[in-house]
Chain A
Amino acid sequence: MAGALALAVPAVPAAAPPPFETLRWTAPGAELAALTTQPAACLGTASVEIQAGEALFNSPRLLGGQAAKAGLSCAGCHVNGRDNAHFLMAAVSDRAGTADVTHSFFGAARGNGRFDPVAIPDLARPGKVSRDSAGGALESFVRALIVDEFAGREPTPAMLAAIAAYVRAIAPCPDGDPPVRRALDDQLRLTVSALRGAIGMARRGDAAAARALLAAARHQLGLIAERYPAPPFGAERRDLLAASRALADLDGKAADGDGFTTALSTWRAGFENGLAQRLRRHEARSLYNPANLAFVAPQQDNR
């Protein structure tokens, strides 16, 4: 694959749909910004629980209904736990950065029959719900969001605790929050966080949470695949798919204690020492590099 890769990213035919999940809810004209930049996140040193919470926060399959089907996770609205100034969905938003969170489109339980979008809040700022870990108000709020607002399955207490721990850890950055570039490492980090979390959940006997985290890891592998189009990255895509299917094969073994955690550790070591390294070597030629995303611009606002 060497020489031919000089043209690493082939021109995408104008009529072809963009392969990026995030563009499903991105305002016209903001595609390039959404694909290349993100709000900064300053979590500091994150515990395994916080990492697991972040992985779940980024997993559409934590939610249910329309959101899960579309690939929309909590992070779809709260990128890096912050806000999303580019979020726009017809009949759900009235302008970029807003969403009607009481619309029955996502789930009937909180539907109020009115179109009343609100600005998506930055979770690094104080909000209406207490972050105090003593009262459990945040856990209750998150549960209601998952189950009522987005018609998701009932999360386990450990999943709720992890997500709440992550949300509590989100903080503004001391340097004024300049947007940061999106990179392969975002997905690699979340993949590993999900696996660490899955191992931790399995060790405490929470197979449902472990399975949810496997799903979170697989989703991140899919996001990587978006950035490595074939050609020229056919081999990497095949290997990403194989890696995802290997995780899927472990899904039914989440209750299998040591066998499961050993298999996950083996998978992780193989991934980090093999495919992840290859992906890193090719990152400059992938669609993580803004220079290779020029084809996105002509597709702006062509409704």
Chain B
Amino acid sequence: MRYYRSSLSLLAACAALAAPVALAAGGGGGGGGAPPSQSSYDPTIDYKKGAEAFAAGRYAEAAKALKRVVAAVPRNPQANYLLGASHLAQGDYSRAVKPLETAVRHDGKMIEARRDLGVVQARLGKADKADRELQALRMMQEQCAVGCSDAAKLADAIARLEAAIAAGPQARAAVAPDMRLPSAAALDPIYVAAVALINEGRYEAAIAKLDAALWAAGPHPDVLTYLGFANRKLGRHDAAEAYYRDALAIAPTHRGAIEYYGELKLERGDLAGARAHLARLDAICGFGCNEADELRRWIEEKAPSAG
């Protein structure tokens, strides 16, 4: 377990989850006043196991770990994709469909998920559904300006899916997943860069970095919280809310998620909801915390008589 030094732990200082990458030392100091109510399950641990097994080609082992992640964080696109791709690699196309569909539903821009979902549908003889993914990829290709970073990946995905559709359900060759995961060692620099981008107001770029962090770390509440924050700043309130809820499902006392979700509620005009979040922070932060200060300030500024 890694509990110090990680820059990810800076936000995690607010989290009450003992995560493998960013460890929140809750409980003391300026941290949580109350003992941290640790989540009984940390999905990032199984994600790491699953990702390592996946990268090593041990797909059955990967699927076993990733199933547990998906059960805990059903909307996580990365875990769903890796689970689906693990089934696909084992030739279990029927089982691959649902997680790949989930990955696509929650991250429509995930090229690998659309490609592999299309391949799976082609193998299952569902040409219409395979074609739907092909069309989606082609649309992404059209929207991808000349020289856009995904151009080559999109062209390759389309070619592979076209071949799979042409081969149909008679194809017998195994489908080897084509997905290179960032190493866990890359996580801190990615995360620090993402937070720096957020501080600079470059939210789209930050989201791209945070997505990369999700591939490296799995559904980490710190990363999910900042994805919520960046989406909120871009006005995507529903997406932001989903990220905050996911973060809090994993780490119910995550200070950052509680604060930012409270701010979102305030932006939506839900003063009572924001005040409930502040009360929650005050309960958690027995020795005070920046998150409570900030949310209190927001409430006082937006509703001076209600602070």
Interfacial chain A residues near B196, Cβ < 8 Å? 103-105, 108, 111
Interfacial chain B residues near A225, Cβ < 8 Å? 27-29, 33, 287
Q: Is A21 touching B25 in the complex (CB atoms < 8 A)?
A: yes
**B201 at the binding interface (Cβ < 8 Å):** yes
Closest to B297 in A: A153
Q: Quick one: which of B94-109 are within 8 Å of A by CB?
A: none
* Contact segment of B9-17, B48-56, B124-132: B9-17
Q: Least Cβ distance of A183 to chain B in Å?
A: 16
Q: Is A21 touching B28 in the complex (CB atoms < 8 A)?
A: yes
Q: Is B288 touching A244 in the complex (CB atoms < 8 A)?
A: yes
- Interface residue count on the A side (C-beta < 8 Å): 56
Q: Least Cβ distance of B57 to chain A in Å?
A: 25
Give A239 to B107 CA distance when docked, in angstroms.
Answer: 48
Q: Is A28 touching B5 in the complex (CB atoms < 8 A)?
A: yes
Give A91 to B286 CA distance when docked, in angstroms.
Answer: 31
**A281 at the binding interface (Cβ < 8 Å):** no
Partner of B10, one of A22, A23, A72, A215: A72
Give A105 to B206 CA distance when docked, in angstroms.
Answer: 12
Interfacial chain A residues near B188, Cβ < 8 Å? 90-91
Q: Contact mask A98-110 → B, CB, 8 Å, 1/0?
A: 0000011111100
Given the interface pairs A61-B288, A219-B30, A222-B31, the reply to whether A23 lies near B3 with Cβ below 8 Å is yes
Q: Least Cβ distance of A116 to chain B in Å?
A: 14
**A83 at the binding interface (Cβ < 8 Å):** no
Give A68 to B297 CA distance when docked, in angstroms.
Answer: 15
* Contact segment of A12-20, A46-54, A124-132, A266-274: A12-20
Give A285 to B275 CA distance when docked, in angstroms.
Answer: 40
**B189 at the binding interface (Cβ < 8 Å):** yes
The winner among B13, B197, B288 for most chain A CB atoms within 10 A is B288
Interfacial chain A residues near B195, Cβ < 8 Å? 66, 104-105
**A283 at the binding interface (Cβ < 8 Å):** no
Give A37 to B201 CA distance when docked, in angstroms.
Answer: 40
**Which bracket fits the contact residues of B?**
35 or more
Give A302 to B14 CA distance when docked, in angstroms.
Answer: 22
Partner of A90, one of B7, B11, B255: B7
Q: Least Cβ distance of B156 to chain A in Å?
A: 31
Q: Contact mask A17-52 → B, CB, 8 Å, 1/0?
A: 111111111111001000000000000000000000
Q: Is A69 touching B192 in the complex (CB atoms < 8 A)?
A: no
**A138 at the binding interface (Cβ < 8 Å):** no
Partner of A105, one of B4, B27, B192, B287: B192
Q: Is B29 touching A108 in the complex (CB atoms < 8 A)?
A: no
**A241 at the binding interface (Cβ < 8 Å):** yes
Q: Least Cβ distance of A87 to chain B in Å?
A: 10
* Closest 3 A/B residue pairs (Cβ): A222-B287, A226-B28, A21-B29
